[in-house]
Structures are given as C-alpha cells and as structure tokens.
Amino acid sequence: MPGLDGLRALAVFAVIVYHLNPAWAPGGLLGVAVFFVLSGYLITDILIAQWKKTGTIDLKDFWLRRMRRLLPLFLVMLVAVGGWLMYAEPSRLARLQGDIITSLLYINNWWLIFHQVSYFESFGPVSPFGHLWSLAVEEQFYIVWPFLLWLGLRFAPRRGVLAAVITAGAAVSALAMALMYEPGADPSRVYYGTDTRAFALLIGAALAVLWPSWKLPAAASARMRNTVDAVGGLGLIVIVFMIWATSQYDDFLYRGGMVVLAAAAAAAIAALVHPASRLGAAFGCKPMRWLGVRSYGIYIWHYPVIVLSSNAAPAEFTTEGLALAAGQVAAAVGLAALSWRFVEEPVRRRAWIRKPSHRRARSRKNGLMSYSLVYLSLVLVIAIVSKLEPAWENRIVSSAPQTASGDPLTQPEIAPATSPPPGTLQAGGEAAIPVQARPQTEDPEGDAVPAPENSGGSDEAVPAPGDGGSSVAAVPGEPVVPAVRPPDAEISVTAIGDSVILDAARFLSEQVPGIVIDGKVGRQFSEAKELTNQLKEMKKLGTVVVVELGTNGTFSKEQLKTLLETIGSERKVVLVNTRVPRPWEGNVNENLKEAAETATNVTLVDWHSASEGKNEYFAADGVHLKEEGARLYASLLIKAIGIPAPAEAAAAKNGSDPQLTS
C-alpha cells in the first residue's frame, strides 16, 4: 500500500514544520492525529486478517514484531541524544531522568500530565524528548487493543456490529476531550491523554473492520474508482486545510475539530489503500514513498535535532532562519536514512534468515552488527539513567506549569540557594522578597525551594521605608505595596503581571509613588480575574490598572474581555504586549491589539516593537530584562499611565519613542 507512505510523509513534515515555526503551519500538530488513525487502521487490519486466517490472534508474535519495529531506533536515539547532552550540557541531562525512564516504559504522556508539563507553552530549556508522548499513546494502544479486538471478534463477529461498538468507543473518547477541555486554558491534558486521543486510533480501527485492505479488489469500475478518489481527495483537502487554518489555540479543535480531522484521515486512507485508486498511485510515487517508509525515523530524530541546534525557538522568516530550518530538516532526514539502513531494516526484517545461502553471510554480518548496536544502546541507556539523580531532586517545586525538562516556565536557570544581600529586591521569585526575608521562596504547599536567579536589572538596593523612597517588598504571593503612599495622589496605579513586571518593579516604584505591583513567576492569564477581584476587595485596585501577562502562554479573546469587564470601564487599563520567543507570542499580541482597538478605556504599550533588535535589553532567555531594558520598560508604562518620565528614564530610551495605540 504505497499510497499510505505518501500520507506518512505528509503527516511527518506537517509536524516538523510546526516544530520549526507554528506560524508556518499552525495546525501542523494534526500530523500526529493522522498517524494515530493510520496506526489504528493498520494494526486492526493485520489482526483481523490473522483472525480470519488462523481463528486466533498471536499476541506474542504481534508484540515481538512491534518491538522489532519501534524499540531499536528508539534506544539508539536515546543513547545518541544522551551522549550529546552528557558532553555538551550535563546539567540539562540531569533533569531528564524521568523523561527517559517514562519514554522507555511508554508512559511518557501520563508522566507529562502528572507533572503538568505543557506541550504548547514550554519556556526555558526544552526537553529533546518532548515528542515521545505520542509513541507512548500508540504503544499503550498496541498493548490493550489486541485483547479488546479479540473480545469483539469473539462476541460480535458481524462487521457492522463490531464497527458500531468501536465507533461508540471513539465517540466516548471524543466526548471526554470536549468536556475536559477548558477554553482559554492550556489544553495539554486533553492533548496528551490516551483517553482523550483514543478516538483517532478507534476511527482507524473501525475503518479497518469495514474496509479491510486484503478484501479490496484490484479491478474496479470507472465509477467506483472515481468515487474512491473523490472521497480520498476530499479527505486530503480537509487535512491540508486544517493544517493551514487551525492552531493549537482553537476551541474548535478540541470540541470536534480533531474528530473531523480523524474522519478526513480515514477517508484519505480508504482511498490510498485501494489497489485501483489513482490517488494511491500518485501518493505512492518514489520520493513520497521513500520519505514515508522512513517517517518513523524522521519523527524520532527531528525534534532532538531542532531542540539541540536552536533550543526549539521558532525559526524566523529570514535568510538565516530559513537556512537553519533547512539544515535541521536535512539532518533529521539524513539520520533517518542512516538508521533505516543500519538499524531498523536489518532488525525488523532479519533479512539474513530469508536470503539465499550465497548471500546470507553478508546479511548475517550486517544483522548481527545491527543487533549488537541495539543491545549496546540498551546497556548505555541503563548506564546513563543510573548515573542521573532522581528527577524530583532536580526540579523546583512550583505550582506554575513546567517545561518538558521540568523547569518552571519562567526560570530556565536556577541559582544556588544563597541568602540575598540585605536591602535587595529578588525579582525572579513568585513575588518580591522582603528585605529581611529568608533566602528561599515557598511553594503553595509550604515546601522551601531555592530562590531563582535574578533576571538582571532587579538586584540593586531598594530604599527602606522612611528613607525618602518606597519599598516594593512583600510577602510571597501578596501584592507588592510601597510603604509610602501619598494621600493626595490624583491617580492610583495597580500593576498585575508575571516575572517580567517584577524585573521593572524597582523602577516603577521609584517613579510612580503608591503603585501596587502584584507579580508572580509563571503566572497564567487565567489567574488574573480572581486576582483582580481580590484586589478590589482589598481596595488595592487603582484607577489605572496595568496588565502584563502572556509571557507564559496565551489566552482567549473571551478571557481578555472578561478581565476588562472585571476591572471595569471606569478605570484606565494599560495592556502590555510581550516579547517571548515562543509560539504563542503572535497570538497574545494580536489579542491585546484587538482589545485596545475596541475598548475606549484601554491603551496598548507596544513593548514588542520598542524592544525589537535590542538584545542588550534582555537576559539570555530573550525575555527577562537587564537593567537597561527594565528602565525602558518602566518608562513606557509610566508614559502610558500618564505620569511624565524623569530625565534618567528618558535617557534609557536611547532615542526610541514608546509606541502606543489607543
């Protein structure tokens, strides 16, 4: 069925383009769903054919073939990536023990769910194994499905009844995704879950019951051929359109959209497997087939290549960005070609057993070399894992979502737990730390964790109360309230944000007397409404409210509208857009721009444009602010609030005017 190889090629390159830059193919993540439907169809097709031939399902043979197909390359990749990290970034490797072990056990998707690791809003060092969750879903299907299918074939042998039961199971899974999905929240739970993704596998399985490849006739009438090609063509059009038109932030995707995609993939498969299909012949052309045959290897290698060569930051649409992306794709395809030739094919086929005697010697040598490489990889993986400290000893305890490496989203590096010098503001923690505070922040459960490293620009002395200045220190988790609040202030200002607002907190407090700053590392937009209501009850919500959120993930237009309504039209709202080299940057900034254009009481501070090309403003992560960047950031906010910026803040702008739109 060469046409399926062409579909594999389309699916894997959709995923690659998505990982290179979601703006190029925002729905490229749907390529994984296409693979799920393919797997459901092919596995069920094989098992039913075996049942019809022998009257049983040989589980041992099935699982051994699955192991020979998936495990060898998997082990080689783990050793290659682990060896590279051991040489280049040993500290990064030390945080990946859990990822490696759970990937080997094919439960990685549940590990990520349990540790609240986002697929969409990763910040900081990204795990090169972040794509292995989908292999876990498929392997869990391979383990459970043969038993369930055996029961179905045993007690519901009629094709129509069995297909209906399988389709009902798919409906339950799709309904679970729709009900568990929370609009505006991170959808990683429903994206990773075996329970919420099983419908794609089951739709493929139902197709195999109704449309088994081994029963399709090679000869077909012109009408039948045209019908098959039309159905398959429509399915392919829907797949390509959804890859182009949808994104991970669309509510539609989780409330029926992925079911539509799975149905379209099933329609395409139905045509591509038919021997008389012209569409199948076209998709089975040599280049597409060559790529499709190696699609598993391409998928296995592409993400480590992207992550380790660019830290998974989206490739920009520039000559350098395109050249890097092309090099990454070429490297992934090249590694897949090598691993297919020297690892996958020899082990899977055990070719020396079947070859004529005069050709067995060379084949046996190649096969034994391949098996030796796989066994050596297994030993090395065990050795690497045993040398690593338990993952939970290397992870900061935090309620904030984490990256696939386990770090809080806004803290790619963690400093040793040392006491801050007296009179300093620690702007990288959950909130500013009091001058007399302990050297550690606390998580919501009360466990002490090391204080994060400063992002820059926030580690100078803060005037103590009574020294003519105002302190912005506060107990972690509480708003940052200056000690001196002028009673005759015409306006009062409240700033709500994440760690970026904390970087600029000192400069804001110096120039905006009485400002209330509530910033927390890892804060998501979904927390803002409740926080706003709390500040209202505490009478700390000013006449001007600054909202700086979006560093750690996106939000929906409805969430933003609700927040603005909660703040109230009687208050002036200053929204600050974001500069974060992550996929959600454009979505965040577009939502903020639209809100500023439609609401009369909203002003937008265009930090993204004001900081363009100013790398000297940022720490190594490209997001957190050094002192110069923090000064400019504060001056832009001050101007938007309506307070004249002092000379020193104006000088920090280096001739760059703040870009504001109302």
Active site residues: 499, 621, 624
Neighbours of 527 (CB within 10 A): 14
Q: What one-character DSSP code corresponds to residue 543?
A: S
Instruction: Please name every residue paired with 402 in a beta bridge, in sequence order, or none if there are none.
Output: 117, 408
Q: Which two tokens stand for residue 233?
A: 């063509």
Helix, strand, or coil (residue 319) = helix
Residue 516: what residue type?
V
Phi, psi of 176 (to 5 degrees): -60, -40
What are the structure tokens assigned to 608, written together? 């993204």
∠ CA 185-188-189, nearest 5°, is 95
Q: Tokens 């000064």: give the residue.
A: 631
Pinpoint the alpha helices (H) of 512-606: 528-537, 557-567, 585-598
Tell me how far apart the alpha carbons of residues 65 and 479 are, in angstroms, rounded to a whole number: 59
* Pairwise CA distance, residues 403 & 405, whole Å: 5
d(CA 325, CA 340): 22
CA 122 to each of CA 136, 405, 499: distance values in angstroms, whole numbers, following the listed order: 20, 9, 15
537 contact partners, CB below 8 Å, separation of at least 6: none
Measured in Å, how far apart are the chain's first and last C-alpha atoms?
A: 58
β-strand 544-548 against 493-497: which pairing, if any?
Answer: parallel
Residues 544, 492: contact at Cβ < 8 Å?
Answer: yes
CA 269/CA 263 separation, integer angstroms? 10
Dihedral sign (CA 105, 111, 112, 113): positive
500 Cβ neighbours under 8 A, 6+ residues apart: 519, 548, 551, 578, 623, 624, 625, 633
Are residues 4 and 273 in contact, defined by beta-carbon separation less than 8 angstroms?
Answer: yes
Q: Is 406 left (phi over 0), alpha (psi -120 to 50) or beta?
A: left
Q: Count each helix (H run) and each strand (E run) in the chain, helices first.
A: 28, 8
CA-wise closest residue to 539 among 595, 494, 592: 494
- Tokens linked to 625: 């602010």
Q: Is 402 helix (H, G, I), strand (E, B) or coil?
A: strand
Q: DSSP for 200-233?
A: HHHHHHHHHHHS-GGG--S---HHHHHHHHHHHH
